[in-house]
């Protein structure tokens, strides 16, 4: 899959104006967001961008009302105090301030794993069977309907927060109790056994897939952000298999209305079937994060990646190849 990044739309950092790098917040992913934001801030400043840290949406509101920033680089992860659920995007749209990444609809749909699945299934895209767990739902009946093993998780969280793999009915109640600590609905999903992959998206390009091989049994929060022994194989596949996964990821990304940049998580079973899990609209940019790894595989260093992501805040026709 021979893809080439187009020329940058801007070459002069002054063209971005004064940039708020939005990070931190009050979601369950605050610490990851602070780490990502610090890296982005350093990279943008190294390229001459007039970038400044802003912690959370209330602080951003004050700054935008006072017209202290011209655009926002959103690296605020999660929902309910994070920047991936459409609330931030609606705020910026209402105030006429450009923001990186997806808009209101794409952000809201991607944050909600249940609604993402409904869209994908309507379009014939593959995703594991699932049951929506409303409050008071008969979880044991749901598990029997799907067939164990299953995964129980909050429908609107990321970074493996609140997730439990359940192999027998005795673990169901604890799994539901953990997931219920987080806002929103719960989701029970068939557990796909196989390789875990992710595909970054930047503009109209699907980046090389990454196969994730944790030292332990699962790619959990520790393996994602703390462990140094997780292996990342990039590209994760070869030939037609790689092409098919990247095409599927791009189709899934577009299906839920996403744009700009993001990451699509996929499982691949023993028979070579790909199964869509979720879309992340403000992926991590930490030392362990996956989009930077895939971008480097295509010859795009971290500073250049941050520049390209910031360009996703430009309006159509804004900027120049000169």
Most confident region among 73-82, 161-170, 306-315 by mean pLDDT: 306-315
Return the pLDDT at 15. 97
Helical segments of 256-297, H only: 290-297
Return the pLDDT at 322. 41
Quick: pLDDT tens for 298-311: 999 999 999 999 99
Active site residue 159: yes
SS (H, E, C) 180-230: CCCCCCEEEEECCCEEEEEEEEECCEECCCEEEECCCCCCCHHHHHCCCCC
Question: What strands, in cross-sheet order, belong to the sheet with 186-190?
Answer: 130-133, 186-190, 150-154, 164-166
Residue 174 marked ligand-binding: no
Active site residue 27: no
pLDDT level of residue 55 (50, 70, 90 thresholds): very high
Residue 280 marked ligand-binding: yes
Quick: pLDDT tens for 224-247: 555 577 899 999 999 999 999 999
Distance CA 199, CA 290 (A): 8
Percent of the chain with pLDDT over 70: 93
63-82 average pLDDT score: 93
Task: For residue 128, give both structure tokens.
Answer: 């594991």
121-130 average pLDDT score: 97
Q: Which fold has domain 13-100?
A: Rossmann fold (3.40.50)
Q: Is the dihedral of CA 35, 219, 250, 293 positive or negative?
A: positive
Q: What ranges do the domains of the chain cover?
A: 13-100, 110-126+193-297, 130-190
The answer to which of 59-63, 84-88, 151-155, 253-257 has the lowest mean pLDDT is 151-155
Q: Distances in Å between the alpha carbon of 277 and those of 9, 43, 182, 273, 287?
A: 32, 30, 19, 13, 23
Residue 278 marked ligand-binding: yes
pLDDT level of residue 154 (50, 70, 90 thresholds): confident
CATH class of 110-126+193-297: alpha beta
| Annotated catalytic residue, options 33, 102, 107, 289 | 289
| Annotated catalytic residue, options 27, 159, 209, 313 | 159
Q: Which fold has domain 130-190?
A: Dna Ligase; domain 1 (3.30.1490)
- DSSP, collapsed to helix, strand or coil, labels residue 50 as strand
Return the pLDDT at 180. 86
Task: For residue 254, give both structure tokens.
Answer: 């577009």
pLDDT level of residue 138 (50, 70, 90 thresholds): confident
| Annotated catalytic residue, options 29, 84, 185, 189 | 29
Helix axes 172-179, 139-146, angle to 10 degrees: 110
Active site residue 303: no
Say whether pLDDT at 74 is over 80.
yes
Return the pLDDT at 1. 55
pTM of structure: 0.90
């Amino acid at each position: 899959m021979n893809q080439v990044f187009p020329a940058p739309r801007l070459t002069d950092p002054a063209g971005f104006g004064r940039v708020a790098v939005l990070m931190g917040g009050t979601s369950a992913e605050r610490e990851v967001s602070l780490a990502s934001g610090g890296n982005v801030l350093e990279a943008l400043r190294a390229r001459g961008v007039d970038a400044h840290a802003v912690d959370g949406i209330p602080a951003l509101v004050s700054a935008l009302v006072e017209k202290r920033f011209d655009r926002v680089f959103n690296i605020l992860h999660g929902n309910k105090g994070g920047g991936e659920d459409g609330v931030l995007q609606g705020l910026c749209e209402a105030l006429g301030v450009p923001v990186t990444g997806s808009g209101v609809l794409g952000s809201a749909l991607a944050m909600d794993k249940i609604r993402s699945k409904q869209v994908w299934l309507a379009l014939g895209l593959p995703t594991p069977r699932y049951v929506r767990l409303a409050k008071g739902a008969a979880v044991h009946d749901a598990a029997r309907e799907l067939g164990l093993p299953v995964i129980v998780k909050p429908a609107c969280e990321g970074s493996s927060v609140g997730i439990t793999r359940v192999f027998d009915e005795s673990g169901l109640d604890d799994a539901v109790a953990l997931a219920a600590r987080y806002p929103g609905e719960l989701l029970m999903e068939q557990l796909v056994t196989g390789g875990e992959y992710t595909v970054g998206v930047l503009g109209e390009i699907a980046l090389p897939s990454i196969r994730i091989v944790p030292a332990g049994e699962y790619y959990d929060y520790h393996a994602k952000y703390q462990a140094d022994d997780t292996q990342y194989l990039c590209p994760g596949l070869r030939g037609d298999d790689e092409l098919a996964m990247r095409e599927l990821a791009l189709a899934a990304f577009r299906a839920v209305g996403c744009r700009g940049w993001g990451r699509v998580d996929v499982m691949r079973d023993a028979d070579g079937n790909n199964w869509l899990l979720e879309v992340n609209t403000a992926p991590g940019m930490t030392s362990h994060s996956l989009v930077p790894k895939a971008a480097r595989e295509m010859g795009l260093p971290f500073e250049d990646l941050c520049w390209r992501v910031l360009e996703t805040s430009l309006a159509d026709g804004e900027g120049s190849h000169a």
